[in-house]
């Protein structure tokens, strides 16, 4: 057992953290308030090689391991969880291509992302199917020389800016997960209708929209894997992306904790620093316990993905622990700030709002528990 990171990994972390501190933290409140899309910041992140870390070397990417990606993602979320949602969504959308694409598809769809700054969307969720993703109703039907996509997608991150959409649909909803296929739909294809930007509680810098596919014609060569393999592709994607989401929860928690520690040392009541009160110390100690334990789980889940060891259970444990832990840590951090924590003048208020989403997307905390329980029961 060796817990040390390589010198390269430390350098990636350092670069990502520097980027978070210089570019993201100073701008986080502004984009949260306005809800504008911080495209310039993302473009700078792309220039520094911080985006699309999953693209293999053969296709112009850095070919980072899942562990590298979570180390970087954690630092970016430290800067702003909202911006990181958009950045992470690119990997979420490109991963199915990395996992199931042919060499030709990878060259066609992945390489452009290494040549210029582009965004992508992963389109699984629908208005009536969130947790029950296997029940999606969007249809992908064989029309002889092409596929036709029809249906509504909901909560699509980067939806208004995506250069390509990775879309899941079914040839027959009654087949449930066995009927699902996955296609790449390039931007500008006739019939893509982009909804208005959602006005959200948190992650306001990220762009989230409903996307409707109305008789969208997709070339046959844009099918990833085979017909009916979409569900497997989505599950494999989640094994890689859940550690990423969990890592962003760890980054957010680390930031909340750092802020709480700093504030506790500065604030005086009853003639002493509030950091001297045991009630405050215990809140800080528990932040440390949760954050450190979650981080280890995230590293383990990512490491397992890299070793090609089935990580479904650990990835779900990491995702649930890290995001529930983040919510508690953010709540307590606001508590330590007292009234000032409730004000937009201080950064913790936004982190508190951003934290909530981590318990919802990429499988809610309840769904993670279902996966964990299923895995536990299965092995007996």
Ligand X SMILES: Cc1cc2nc3c(=O)[nH]c(=O)nc-3n(C[C@H](O)[C@H](O)[C@H](O)COP(=O)(O)OP(=O)(O)OC[C@H]3O[C@@H](n4cnc5c(N)ncnc54)[C@H](O)[C@@H]3O)c2cc1C
Which residues here bind ligand X, judged by CB under 6 A?
Answer: 89, 122-125, 130-131, 155-157, 200, 203, 208, 357, 360-362, 364, 366-367, 370
Q: Which does 366 bind (CB under 5 to 8 A by kind): ligand X, another protein, none?
A: ligand X
The answer to whether residues 70 and 298 touch, using CB atoms and an 8 Å cutoff, is yes
> Which of the following is catalytic: 229, 276, 362, 375?
362
Closer CB to another protein, residue 64 or residue 361? 64
The answer to whether residues 363 and 319 touch, using CB atoms and an 8 Å cutoff, is yes
Query: Both tokens of residue 338?
Result: 């007292």
The nearest distance, CB 83 to ligand X, in angstroms, is 13
Q: Is 362 a catalytic residue?
A: yes
Closer CB to ligand X, residue 29 or residue 360? 360
The nearest distance, CB 327 to another protein, in angstroms, is 28
Closer CB to ligand X, residue 203 or residue 255? 203
The answer to whether residues 167 and 123 touch, using CB atoms and an 8 Å cutoff, is yes
Closer CB to ligand X, residue 205 or residue 257? 205
Can you give the length of the chain in residues? 380
The answer to whether residues 250 and 240 touch, using CB atoms and an 8 Å cutoff, is no
Q: Which does 357 bind (CB under 5 to 8 A by kind): ligand X, another protein, none?
A: ligand X
The nearest distance, CB 319 to another protein, in angstroms, is 25
Residues contacting 312, CB < 8 A, separation 6+: 235, 239, 371, 375
Q: Which does 221 bind (CB under 5 to 8 A by kind): ligand X, another protein, none?
A: none
The nearest distance, CB 333 to ligand X, in angstroms, is 22
The nearest distance, CB 120 to ligand X, in angstroms, is 10
> How far is it, in rounded angstroms, from Cα 80 to Cα 240?
21
Query: Both tokens of residue 94?
Result: 């490109």
Up-side HSE of residue 172: CA atoms within 13 Å toward CB?
A: 5
E-state strands within the chain = 120-123, 139-142, 146-157, 164-170, 180-186, 192-197, 208-219, 223-224, 268-269, 272-273
Q: Which does 164 bind (CB under 5 to 8 A by kind): ligand X, another protein, none?
A: none
Q: Which does 130 bind (CB under 5 to 8 A by kind): another protein, ligand X, none?
A: ligand X
The CA-CA-CA angle for residues 23, 27, 30, to 5°, reads 165
Residue 132 three-state SS: coil
The nearest distance, CB 153 to ligand X, in angstroms, is 7
Contacting residues toward another protein, per CB under 8 A: 8, 11-12, 14-15, 18-19, 44, 47-50, 53, 62, 64, 72
Residue whose beta carbon is closest to ligand X: 130
Q: Which does 213 bind (CB under 5 to 8 A by kind): another protein, ligand X, none?
A: none
Closer CB to ligand X, residue 120 or residue 301? 120
Up-side HSE of residue 371: CA atoms within 13 Å toward CB?
A: 23
Closer CB to ligand X, residue 108 or residue 153? 153
Nearest to 348 by CA among 32, 19, 22, 18: 32
Q: Catalytic residue positions?
A: 362
């Amino acid at each position: 057992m060796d817990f040390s990171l390589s010198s390269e990994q430390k350098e990636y972390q350092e670069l990502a953290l520097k980027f978070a501190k210089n570019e993201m933290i100073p701008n986080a409140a502004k984009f949260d308030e306005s809800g504008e899309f911080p495209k310039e910041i993302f473009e700078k992140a792309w220039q520094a090689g911080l985006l699309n870390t999953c693209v293999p070397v053969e296709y112009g990417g850095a070919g980072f391991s899942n562990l590298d990606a979570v180390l970087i993602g954690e630092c970016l979320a430290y800067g702003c969880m909202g911006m990181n949602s958009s950045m992470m969504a690119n990997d979420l959308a490109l991963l199915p291509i990395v996992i199931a694409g042919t060499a030709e598809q990878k060259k066609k769809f992945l390489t452009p992302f290494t040549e210029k700054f582009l965004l992508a969307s992963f389109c699984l969720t629908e208005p009536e199917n969130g947790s029950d993703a296997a029940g999606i109703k969007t249809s992908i039907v064989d029309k002889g020389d092409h596929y036709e996509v029809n249906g509504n997608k909901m909560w699509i991150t980067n939806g208004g800016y995506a250069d390509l959409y990775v879309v899941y649909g079914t040839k027959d909803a009654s087949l449930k997960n066995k009927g699902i296929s996955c296609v790449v739909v390039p931007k500008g294809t006739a019939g893509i209708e982009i909804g208005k930007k959602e006005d959200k509680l948190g992650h306001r810098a990220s762009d989230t929209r409903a996307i409707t596919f109305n008789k969208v014609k997709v070339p046959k060569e844009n099918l990833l894997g085979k017909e009916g393999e979409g569900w497997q592709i989505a599950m494999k994607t989640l094994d890689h992306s859940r550690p990423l989401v969990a890592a962003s929860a760890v980054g957010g928690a680390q930031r909340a904790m750092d802020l709480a520690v700093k504030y506790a040392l500065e604030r005086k009541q009853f003639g002493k620093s509030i950091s001297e009160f045991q009630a405050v110390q215990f809140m800080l100690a528990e932040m440390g316990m949760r954050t450190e334990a979650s981080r280890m789980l995230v590293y383990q889940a990512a490491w397992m993905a890299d070793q090609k060891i089935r990580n479904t259970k650990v990835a779900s444990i990491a995702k649930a622990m890290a995001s529930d832990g983040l919510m508690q840590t953010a709540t307590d951090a606001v508590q330590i700030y007292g009234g000032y924590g409730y004000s937009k003048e201080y950064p913790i208020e936004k982190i508190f709002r951003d934290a909530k989403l981590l318990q919802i997307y990429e499988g809610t905390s309840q769904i993670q528990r279902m996966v964990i329980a299923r895995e536990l029961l299965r092995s007996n």
